[in-house]
């Protein structure tokens, strides 16, 4: 930006000094005319030019040199540039170019061809600079559009990654809760089946020695009926001992069977947990695969859009540059026509 300001001031200063010399030192009484030509303000805003000229004229006592003249024009330009209410119909460089053309034609008409050549040189320099300025402005706008597009794509990518992150967190949370829920269900089911098997085992009658014990009980009853109580007591003790032994053996057998059944049940539950974990892992891998595919697709889509835009700007660059040249020439011609109309009026 600073380089641009230095270049435009250097070009405009040289052109203004040429205009100053072309007007024989530019007496104060023609300052307002030249200033109004350089700054085509609306009629209601021209008081700012008059005020600045009056202030400077009072300081130089009716005498100007080229440095003061350039400072005057620059002062008017700075004031107008910082006040939005002062809207120029044409840019300063355009108005200055038209003024230079008039001075150049005047020199050529008077046979001052060297001065005319110098004026044309200033005109060409201002024209080239104005075209270059607009072209750079267009290029800057295109670059900014590309940067804005890249930022929008970056934001979209970040949003995409965040959405996937949230989805994965939610999936992992649901998977963890599913495993915990299954384990809790298995724990309750195991407790229920163990209790049920234990009750069933303890209620199951003794069958292994039932015939032998029944025979001993018959002998015990017969001896008691015959009043051989001592013998009957012996048979009773034998029968009771056999029944107790059989009962304990049966409980031990049933509890051992219970242990095996419970172990089988636990293995079945562990297999269910393993199957659920495998399904979760498989789904998680599928999710990651889909995320990678979607991510690549999004990046490729962004790349294609940016390449299309850059290609469009490259292809349109030359035609736009030509259009800029035409537009600058049109504006110069328009300002010339307006000036001619005003002079005729």
343 vs 292, which has greater pLDDT? 292
Tell me what pLDDT residue 29 has. Answer: 53
| pLDDT tens digits, 29-87 | 556 666 666 666 666 666 666 676 666 665 555 566 777 777 777 777 777 666 655 55
Q: Which range scores top for mean pLDDT: 60-74, 205-219, 244-258, 295-309?
A: 295-309
Tell me what pLDDT residue 281 has. Answer: 93
Treating both helix axes as pointing N-terminal to C-terminal, what angle do 229-344 and 113-203 enclose, rounded to 10 degrees?
170
Tell me what pLDDT residue 89 has. Answer: 57
Ramachandran angles phi, psi of 24, nearest 5°: 55, 50
Mean pLDDT, the chain, integer = 77
Q: Which of 3-7, 34-38, 146-150 has the lowest mean pLDDT?
A: 3-7
Q: Which long-range contacts (CB under 8 A, 24 or more apart) does 316-321 make?
A: 317/139, 320/135, 320/138, 321/131, 321/135
Q: Is residue 88's pLDDT more than 70? A: no
Q: How far apart are CA 47 and CA 140, in angstroms?
A: 35
Could you give the percent of the chain with pLDDT greater than 70? 73
Region 131-158: mean pLDDT is 89
DSSP code of residue 110: T
Query: pLDDT grade, residue 4 (50/70/90)?
Result: very low
| pLDDT tens digits, 283-332 | 999 999 999 999 999 999 999 999 998 888 887 777 777 787 787 777 77
Q: How far apart are CA 141 and CA 159, in angstroms?
A: 26
141 vs 7, which has greater pLDDT? 141
322 vs 114, which has greater pLDDT? 114
Q: Which of 26-35, 160-169, 231-240, 282-291 has the lowest mean pLDDT?
A: 26-35
Query: What pTM value is reported for the model?
Result: 0.57
| pLDDT tens digits, 171-201 | 999 999 999 999 899 888 888 887 877 777 6
Ranges of beta strands (E only) in the chain are: none
Query: pLDDT grade, residue 2 (50/70/90)?
Result: very low
Give the distance, in angstroms, between the CA of residue 118 and the centroid of all CA atoms in the same chain: 54
Residue matched to tokens 């049933």:
254
Q: How far apart are CA 98 and CA 93, in angstroms?
A: 9
Ramachandran angles phi, psi of 48, nearest 5°: -65, -35
Asked whether the beta carbons of 99 and 37 are under 8 A apart, the reply is: yes
């Amino acid at each position: 930006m600073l380089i641009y300001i230095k270049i435009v001031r250097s070009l405009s200063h040289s052109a203004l000094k040429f205009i100053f010399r072309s007007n024989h030192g530019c007496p104060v009484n023609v300052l307002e005319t030249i200033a109004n030509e350089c700054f085509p303000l609306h009629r209601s805003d021209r008081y700012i030019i008059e005020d600045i000229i009056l202030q400077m004229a009072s300081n130089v006592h009716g005498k100007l040199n080229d440095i003061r003249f350039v400072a005057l024009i620059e002062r008017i330009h700075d004031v107008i540039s910082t006040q939005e209410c002062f809207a120029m119909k044409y840019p300063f460089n355009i108005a200055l170019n038209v003024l230079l053309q008039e001075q150049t034609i005047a020199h050529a008409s008077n046979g001052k061809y060297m001065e005319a050549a110098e004026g044309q040189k200033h005109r060409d320099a201002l024209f080239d600079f104005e075209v270059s300025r607009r072209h750079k402005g267009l290029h800057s706008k295109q670059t900014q559009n590309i940067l804005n597009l890249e930022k929008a794509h970056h934001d979209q990518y970040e949003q995409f990654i965040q959405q996937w992150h949230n989805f994965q967190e939610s999936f992992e949370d649901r998977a963890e809760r599913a495993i915990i829920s299954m384990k809790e269900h298995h724990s309750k089911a195991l407790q229920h089946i163990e209790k049920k098997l234990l009750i069933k085992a303890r209620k199951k009658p003794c069958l292994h020695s039932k015939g032998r014990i029944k025979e001993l009980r018959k002998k015990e009853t017969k001896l008691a009926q015959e009043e051989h109580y001592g013998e009957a007591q012996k048979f009773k003790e034998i029968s009771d001992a056999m029944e107790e032994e059989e009962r304990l053996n049966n409980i031990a057998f049933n509890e051992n069977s219970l242990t095996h059944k419970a172990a089988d049940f636990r293995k079945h539950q562990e297999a269910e947990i393993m199957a659920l974990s495998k399904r979760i892992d498989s789904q998680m891998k599928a999710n990651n695969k889909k995320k990678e595919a979607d991510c690549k697709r999004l990046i490729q889509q962004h790349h294609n859009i940016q390449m299309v835009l850059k290609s469009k700007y490259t292809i349109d660059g030359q035609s736009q540059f030509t259009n800029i040249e035409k537009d600058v020439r049109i504006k110069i011609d328009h300002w010339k026509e307006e000036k001619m109309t005003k002079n005729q009026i």
